Structure 1
């Protein structure tokens, strides 16, 4: 399998894609340096922050240089897209971890549990029920993060902060799900710090050790406020078309 993937990488590509591929390890190195600085300023151990390289919309040839540069954790938004590229990559490069960071339909729970090592978007009872059912029938147990809608934006998925404690309790008590942490995406036009602080506060009072927050533009702030997982895409892969 590894040979076929490497052959695909070596196949002719559009000039802009080749340029992007050559840039990837440099982008990853710059992000790693920024994470190290942020951890030092926050007096945190670098090992306490997991970089999730957001590879959505990029195919295997574009992802391979990042894998070969040492990155092992990746994030995808859609189950179907992830299914098209990650089984082969994970077979060729054992030890990779793929996280679902986008919304999950309940009818895709079976596929998601089979493929992903973490699901960052648990946000409603019907999904909890579907995940609990799959946990009973499959041997895999992905980490689960409850997604908060800290800005209470009507167009965005996630649990409102005022409902978070009750929802987390329901996940544990009614559905028997082990919740690993919380995830948030602040509103685009808001300062992220208050949203990160609120997420950290809710995580602490519910005994949750993991917090998925911070993206390319604000991950240093997220690290300062306790993020354990940061989701960085454009700073590593460049802007998507």
Structure 2
């Protein structure tokens, strides 16, 4: 359900993916309105595919968006977005919030691959992503954040990502950058002048017995093992195009 209030837009979307018993994946719940419109696209083998289509600008100041996706046992789901999300200043005061909740059952698989999030000048956005996975679940999760449009300074962007497998936290991190963020975010120990930052989280049951090896992936990217059956690729780049290239190359290398 969504609506417009004096403090901004409220919008939510829900996806449920379920094995259809014939080797494919059904979508018994596909519910999104307003700025979070959902479109079913052509399936790829056993994998159902959904696109988030932005029907409005935003999120703007004061907006509250939430997306929830649940993948049940034996189902496979791929979720992308039709275009980048742009955080913008709005007439309403206060920060905007975008919450993502992902649940993948044992034996389910989710590819969560949205387009970039762009922090425009004057915006203030807090993004919270929480993924809960069963012991035998599989996940590919990509985040890409671009600080400012061409020729402008970024707004304030705070992003927290938590991934839990079988009730155990394998990743819990927060990034704050842009106008008003704590000092040091753009220094040598932070983004070092880069304006695009991203990561891929991989959860695969086989990683439990054969953890990936920590390694540099060029000058601006690294692969590190996480606790449990998970790995993390982190990268920074001067712009969104080069960031995507780094992450795609890392994903191809991991197979």
TM more than 0.5: no
TM-score by length of 1: 0.29
TM-score by length of 2: 0.28
